[in-house]
Chains A and B, each alone.
Chain A
Amino acid sequence: MAELNIIEKVIALEAVDLLKNLTPDQLARIAAIAKETSLAPSKVVFEPGQTQDALYVVLDGAVDIFRDGQLLHTARQNEVIGAWSLFDPEPVSLAACGSSEGARLLKVNREDFYDLLSDNMEITASIFSTLVKRFRQLVEQ
């Protein structure tokens, strides 16, 4: 399958809740650092106790997510894995690996993302705004 062009990557990133306040141009800048990656069946994305250093959007196929060996969820097309890991360097308690059909993912690396943020104040401000809204909702709940 041909690699995604920038428009297709932006459309994929539109699925990420954390990035929903960004303009298409801003998403295009994130799309420019996002890389496609293929995930073979059963290949591990991350394991409990590891720090997760990237956000993934499922483009095709599926990714199984486990807790304590139990299947918790199967993430399919346009679903996002590890959105909060961009801001959270703590080790995760979940595991994720390619499902039996394998998967194609769009990966945004945390280091690249931070570099991008340092160059794009408006993106940083938008993400902060989304985070603050999320915290406010949590507090109000």
Chain B
Amino acid sequence: MNQVRLFWRSFFDIRPGERLRVLFMSLYLLSVLFAYYILKPLSRALFLNKFDIDKLPWLYVLIAVVGGLLAFVYTNIAVRASLSKAVLGATAFSVACLVLLWFLLKNPADWLYYVLNIWVSLFSVILVSQGWLVAANVFNPREAKRVYGVLGVGAVIGAAFGGSFTAFALKLVGVNNLLLASAVMVLFAYGAFLAVERQPGVSLAGAKAAEDEEADFHFADIVGAIRQHRHLQVIIGIILLTYLVDVLVEFQFSAVAKQAYKSKEELTAFLGSFYGLYLNLITFAFQFFLTAAVVNMFGVGGTLQVMPMSIGLLSVSTLAFPTVLSTSAARLSEAATRYTFNRTGMELLYLPLPMELKNRTKAFVDIFMDRFARGMGGMLLVLVTGVLNVPSRYVSILVMAFCAIWILLSLRAKREYVATVRGRLEARRLDLDSVRISVNDPATMKLLEETARSPLPRQACYALEMLEASQSVNLEPILRELIDSPSAEVRGKALELALKTRYDMLLDEALREIRSYRGGERSGSIEPAVEYALTYSGDGSRLARTLLQHPNEQVQASVLRFLGGSQSLARELLTADWLAQAARSAEPAERRKAALAIRSLGDGHGDLVAALIRDPDARVTEAAARTAAALEDRALVLPMVERLAEPRLRGALIQALAQYGPRIAGTLGDLLMDHKLPLPVRRQVARTLQHIPDQRSVDVLMAGIAGPDPELRSAVIEALHRLRETVPNLNYGAEPVMQQILSEARMYYELSAALSPFRDQTDVKTPAGLLAKTIEERLRKTIRRLFYLLGLKYPPREIQAAYLAVNRGRSEEISTAIEFLDNVLERELKRVLIPLFDAPGHAAEKGREVFGLARLDTAGALRQLLESGDVWLAACAIATAAELRLSSLAGAVAKLEEGAGSEVARVARDAAARFAA
């Protein structure tokens, strides 16, 4: 029964709120596949009808080379475009091309058939891949595991109808007019896409039309990785053989079909039915009824062997009886097993690779490997059938040979896979959550179950999470077993997953867990045990009341957290009297309880939360901050901000404020610019904004980018830098950034000029030495701010690499960094910045050239520093002036006795005394 439930759920588990998204997304994929399966048989039939079969291998080579180049160009454009714009652009481009091709096919030249076939291969790269990319952005990985089955049905129906429609409609409208029908379906697809985009919860604003990795892999890196990882060698070997065999089998099939169907109408109809209807129906049947079972039964290695074994066997019949039936069977088997068993097996094979390597390898395979292999296949066919004149039926011998190697590689793949999974599991680096297929390979499941029983609690918990993430295993037996684990962490994880999977047979164990808890160390099992017990207890109210009186604080806090999700129960238990008494209690634990309880009660207790935020006990404040974040009460923002300067509270307060999200970005912006707030608080406001990844955070930080206080300015620029790392696609205001870069550069030159008279002062036990050291430090910080600002305007990763190179100070690295900056910076920035990085020792002279700054003597330099507004620099300058007895500066020093803080005032008074002596 469980197996049936799991099977059903894996295909049709669509939850409320997802239905329209799934419907329109399915319609979108259906329309795209419909359009594609009109074009695919049509283009191939026209080509085969026009030319002899010996031209087909050349078409494979051309598709590999030209199609590959076009796909590469498209990816490089797409990586810079938003997904929404890319879909619109691809739709407009496809419709225009289809209409143009339709027009040109009225009087076709020979080359047009090549162009049509190459274009159809590009259509698959752009529109079909784009369809799945949209799906990947519309559903998160966990949703994807549930709904991709349904989307797949939409795609299969589209393909089947597209192929059948082609076979049927060509008699009515003629072959060429089918291109217009395809254009109409592309427009339908765009309509469905717009409907998807308008669904609640769908935001494609930040989605790109291609992943960075797709355009960003370097051939040398991938080759290096392939050399290093045996696992990757096996993957690449199997992919190479897959596409090589694909071309050979397709060639044999086309050759026989051409002979059997003489007119282009007959051939189009046959190919339409074959590719659209039969192939897709068989693929669908394999995927729905067989793939999961085969993976379950034979694991990765066995699944990967299905394709070469079936092709190998069917090639024997192709060799013996090269008929439409035998070649069609081989082709059907090849294509259907490639889209099902092989694809799932390969997904699993990729699974244990590190995410970054996996993405880059996939990009390498998508852009390069499949075309390379198909191109090789084409060249092999040119050699065998063109040069050596071998009849096409004997190509089966080559296919069988390749299949034999493939089977051996699949056996190797299994060993490598298990070894890599084991290694990744031990390092807790296996990521099943991001995989968009259900992982049910028995070897992986066995390893995960073994690890879940491991005596190492962290590994055991990790394996349990992975088992749950795989969504393809019944967790109940292992949860029942691990509830008796000696580790509280593992017992807690078991209860947590039991709750998640709605397994309700562990109530006694949860109660036992609570009863046996003696306090002391914080236990990882208490919170899940309380939540579980309250969820499945027959009388939650009575149990909650009892547990609220539990002597242990962690138990009480867990009950209160649970009540946060159950307002009616909370109102029943947490009365106004109880709350007032707890909040006024002299015991911090009681006040903390009150702070947590308000979260369960909801709005209407703002004043009480504000008072608890101001509580002298840090744990009470932390609890109140968490409650404030849960209530999202704006009135509580200021009390939290006011305490941001306190180190012990800072982390919890920033986290709570960030939880409010962009709606308080404006308020935080006002506080950032509020001169009445202490500077340490304002600096932390900037840090808070960096945790709210939204355009509004960027906008308010931009307003503070040119502030006079260097520390606050640094905090603002650093916050922008962090945001740029997290959300690079937001608008980072090119013009204000440009102005600030110029301003910071000017500061650098001014500081360098001020350093000149003290450059030889190296003894930090003198005020002048300390001053020189301070200025050098300021210069380093200015360089860092400059690079952070450049990173807002130019590609951040490259700018960061240039900063590290400049910072390390090795001449060859600095040269490379300067070369890079020279190529990317605008002329104005180059003029100002390159000399600064190139010859920092001569910055004072360059400052005179670039900004017309005056040469400074000792007194002039000190005067400039006294007036800089930088408190510490001013203090060092005062002490240096006193040491050098520069009484001409007495007036400037006297001004700093007021308004620059007590420490500076003290230094100024001491200096005044020395001037007077």
A contact residues vs B (CB 8 Å cutoff)? 2, 5-8, 10-11, 14-15, 23-25, 28, 32, 78, 115, 118-119
* Nearest B residue (CB) for A29: B872
Contact B764–A11 (Cβ < 8 Å): yes
Contact (Cβ within 8 A) A25 B907: no
**Residues of A with C-beta under 8 A to B770:** 7, 10-11, 14, 24
Q: Are B907 and A6 neighbours in the complex by a CB distance under 8 Å?
A: yes
Q: Which of B172-202 contact A (CB under 8 A)?
A: none
Shortest beta-carbon distance, B868 to chain A, in Å? Answer: 14
Would A118 and B647 be within 8 Å (CB), given that A5-B903, A6-B875 are in contact? yes
In the complex, which residues of chain A have a beta carbon less than 8 angstroms from the beta carbon of B910? 2, 5
Contact mask for chain B residues 465-490; partner A; CB cutoff 8 A; 1 contact, 0 none? 00000000000000000000000000
User: With a CB–CB cut-off of 8 A, which chain A residues contact B85?
Assistant: none
| Contact A11-B903, Cβ < 8 Å, known A24-B774, A24-B872 | no
Measured between beta carbons, the chain B residues less than 8 angstroms from A78 are: 765
17 more A-B contacts (CB under 8 A) besides A5-B910, A11-B766, A24-B764?
A6-B875, A6-B906, A7-B770, A7-B875, A7-B878, A11-B765, A11-B767, A14-B765, A14-B770, A23-B773, A23-B774, A23-B777, A24-B773, A24-B774, A24-B872, A78-B765, A118-B648
Task: Give the complex CA separation of A101 and B777 in angstroms.
Answer: 39
Nearest CB in chain A to that of B680: its residue: A119
Does B777 lie within 8 Å of A24, measured CB to CB? yes
Cα–Cα, bound, A47→B767 (Å) = 36
Cα–Cα distance between A23 and B780 once the two chains are bound (Å):
11
Q: Does B876 contact A (CB under 8 A)?
A: yes
Contacts of B876 in A (CB 8 A): 7, 24
Task: List residues of chain B with CB within 8 A of the CB of A15.
Answer: 765
| Binary contact track B839-881/A, C-beta < 8 Å → 1, others 0 | 0000000000000000000000000000000001001101100
Q: Which residue of A lies closest to B773 (CB)?
A: A24
- Which residues of A have CB within 8 Å of B764? 11, 14, 24
In the complex, chain A residues whose CB is within 8 Å of the CB of B872: 24-25, 28
Cα(A11)–Cα(B907), bound, Å: 13
Measured in the bound complex, the distance between the Cα atoms of B875 and A6 in whole Å is 8
List of 9 A-B pairs having minimum Cβ-Cβ separation, nearest first:
A119-B647, A7-B879, A118-B647, A6-B903, A24-B774, A23-B777, A5-B906, A5-B907, A14-B764
- Set of chain A residues within 8 Å of B879, measured between Cβ atoms: 5, 7-8
A45 to B872, CA, bound (A): 32
**What's the least CB distance linking A135 to chain B, in Å?**
23
Q: Min CB distance, B377 to chain A, in Å?
A: 56
A47-B903 Cα distance, complex, nearest whole Å: 34
Complex Cα gap A115–B904 (Å)? 23
Question: In terms of DSSP, what is the predominant structure of the interface of chain A?
Answer: helix
CB within 8 Å: A-B pair count: 51
B767 contact from A7, A23, A119, Cβ within 8 A: A7
Instruction: For the complex, give the distance between the alpha carbons of A25 and B647 in Å.
Output: 18
List, in ascending order, chain B residues with CB within 8 A of A5's CB: 879, 903, 906-907, 910
- Give, as a whole number of angstroms, the nearest-CB distance from A27 to chain B: 9
Contacting residues, chain B, for A25 (C-beta < 8 A): 774, 777, 872
Alpha-carbon gap, A8 to B907, bound state (A): 9
8 pairs across A/B with beta carbons < 8 Å? A6-B907, A8-B879, A10-B770, A14-B770, A15-B765, A24-B774, A25-B774, A28-B903
Instruction: Tell me whether A32 and B903 are in contact (CB under 8 A).
Output: yes
Cβ of A115: which chain B residues have Cβ within 8 Å of it? 647
With the chains together, A28 CA to B774 CA distance in Å?
11
Closest CB in chain A relative to B775 CB, distance in Å: 10
Residues of A within 8 A of B774 (CB): 23-25
Closest chain A residue, CB of each to CB of B910: A5
**A-side contacts of B765, CB under 8 Å:** 11, 14-15, 78
How many angstroms from the CA of A32 to the CA of B902 in the assembled complex? 11
Q: Collect the chain A residues with CB atoms within 8 Å of residue B906's CB.
A: 5-6
A2: which B residues are within 8 A, CB to CB?
910
Q: What are the residues of chain B within 8 A of A7 when measuring CB–CB? A: 767, 770, 875-876, 878-879, 907
Taken together as a complex, chains A and B put the C-alpha atoms of A7 and B773 apart, in Å, by 13
Taking the closest CB of chain A, its distance from the CB of B854, in whole angstroms, is 26
> Which A residue's beta carbon lies closest to that of B907?
A5
Q: Which residues of A contact B777 (CB under 8 A)?
A: 23-25
Quote the shortest CB–CB distance from B778 to chain A (angstroms).
Answer: 9
CB-defined interface of B351-376 with A at 8 Å, one 1/0 digit per residue?
00000000000000000000000000
Contacts of B878 in A (CB 8 A): 7
Give the docked Cα–Cα distance between A33 and B416 (Å).
59
- Using an 8 Å CB-CB cutoff, how does the interface string of B324-344 with A read, 1 for contact, 0 for none? 000000000000000000000
Residue of B whose beta carbon sits closest to that of A119: B647
Q: Could you tell me the distance between the alpha carbons of A14 and B773 in the complex, rounded to whole angstroms?
A: 12
In Å, the complex CA distance between A118 and B765 comes to 28
CA A23 – CA B781 in complex, angstroms? 11
- Compute how far the CA of A75 lies from the CA of B764 in the bound complex, rounded to whole angstroms: 21
C-alpha spacing A14/B202, complex, angstroms: 58
Q: Which residues from chain A contact B904 at a C-beta distance below 8 Å?
A: 6
Q: How far is A7 from B766 in the complex, measured between Cα atoms in Å?
A: 9
Report Cα–Cα, A5/B906, bound state, in Å.
6
The CA of A118 and the CA of B645, in the complex, are separated in Å by 11
CB distance from A136 to the nearest CB of B (A): 19
Complex-state Cα separation, A8 to B910, whole angstroms: 11
Residues of A within 8 A of B647 (CB): 115, 118-119
Bound complex: CA of A90 vs CA of B765, how far in Å? 32
Contact with A along B378-408 (1 / 0, CB 8 A): 0000000000000000000000000000000
Least Cβ–Cβ distance between B302 and chain A, in angstroms:
50
Interface string of B93-117 (1 = CB under 8 A from A): 0000000000000000000000000
Shortest distance from the beta carbon of B492 to any chain A beta carbon, whole Å? 29
Using Cβ atoms and an 8 Å threshold, which residues of chain B touch A6? 875, 903-904, 906-907
Contacts of B648 in A (CB 8 A): 118
The chain A residue sitting closest to B780, CB to CB, is A23
How far in angstroms is the closest Cβ of chain B from A1? 13
Instruction: Report B876-917 residues with CB < 8 Å from chain A CB.
Output: 876, 878-879, 903-904, 906-907, 910
Q: Which residue of A lies closest to B645 (CB)?
A: A119
